[in-house]
Amino acid sequence: MSKDTENSLKIIYRHVGKAVVDYQMIEDGDKILAGISGGKDSFVMLDALLHLQRVAKINFEVVAVNLDQKKPGFPEHILPNYFEANGIDYYIIEVDTYSIVRSKIPEGKKTCPLCSRLRRGNLYGFAEKIGATKIALGHHMDDIVETMFLNMFFQAKLSAMPPKLLSDDKRNVVIRPLAYCREKDIAQVARDRAYPIIPNNLCGSQEDSKRQAVKAMLSEWDKDQSDRVANIFRSLQRVNPSQLADMDLFDFKALHVNRH
């Protein structure tokens, strides 16, 4: 293992451990469904969760789950081979959501939103089936900050992806153990550990130009000030409703002078 990889891995393990403690993501007796897509983020998340399982003072299970959506050309053997070679408990869910998406989305239109909803719904249902108490997803700090700007720029709302989330039906808890991790550290580890990465271009969907524009913006900011993205993320942890403008969060109408 190179020195850079060792340092990046230590950073990730430390950040994952802190995020898990800060948001009480994992509790004694939990069964964690780790959603593994085959991308770098989910591989590193799985690595970090298994490390935490070995060193933590509490007992919890980690089960890797991949949703095979039957995209043409998907290399079905890669993940099972990796899990079995490394002694990792796993399930492969085979659901042809690809055909559903193609039947509902016109040619040339973005398939990602519907595809994501179907994937999430299947993971939620499977978590209940196997008795998983938490669903771990591989979103990292950069993803969270990007999502905040996307929502601000294109949806006119201030929201992102929380490190821990209760599903709308209150039947599942989603955790994001990589919430404190930067993508550049994740990429360094993924390159040097040579995970069998499955490229995210199998469905032929277009690159999301809006997200890529935000990524490019943050990349430029990183060059100018290396801690800027981290500072933006930290601002999400230090929200002051009275200094914003949401009348549902703060009663601005009730503000009056009181000099007594």
> What pLDDT score does 121 carry?
81
User: Which homologous superfamily does the CATH classification assign to the domain defined by 3-254?
Assistant: HUPs (3.40.50.620)
The answer to whether the CB of 186 falls within 8 A of the CB of 140 is yes
Q: Is residue 5 pLDDT above 60, yes or no?
A: yes
27-55 residue pLDDT tens: 999 999 999 999 999 999 999 999 999 99
Q: Is residue 112 pLDDT above 80, yes or no?
A: no
Q: Is residue 204 pLDDT above 50, yes or no?
A: no
Counts of helices then strands in the chain (DSSP H, E):
9, 6
pTM for the model: 0.91
168-190 residue pLDDT tens: 999 999 999 999 999 999 999 99
The answer to whether the CB of 145 falls within 8 A of the CB of 136 is no
Q: How far does CA 102 lie from the centroid of its chain?
A: 25
Q: Is residue 13 pLDDT above 80, yes or no?
A: yes
Domain boundaries, the chain: 3-254
> What pLDDT score does 6 carry?
76
Range in 17-26, 102-111, 156-165, 231-240 the model is least confident about: 102-111
Q: Is residue 208 pLDDT above 50, yes or no?
A: yes
Percent residues over pLDDT 70 in the chain: 88
- Read off the pLDDT band of 1 (50, 70, 90): low
What mean pLDDT is predicted for residues 76-97? 92
DSSP, collapsed to helix, strand or coil, labels residue 80 as helix
The answer to whether the CB of 155 falls within 8 A of the CB of 53 is no
Q: What is the pLDDT of the chain when averaged over all its residues?
A: 90
> What pLDDT score does 25 carry?
98
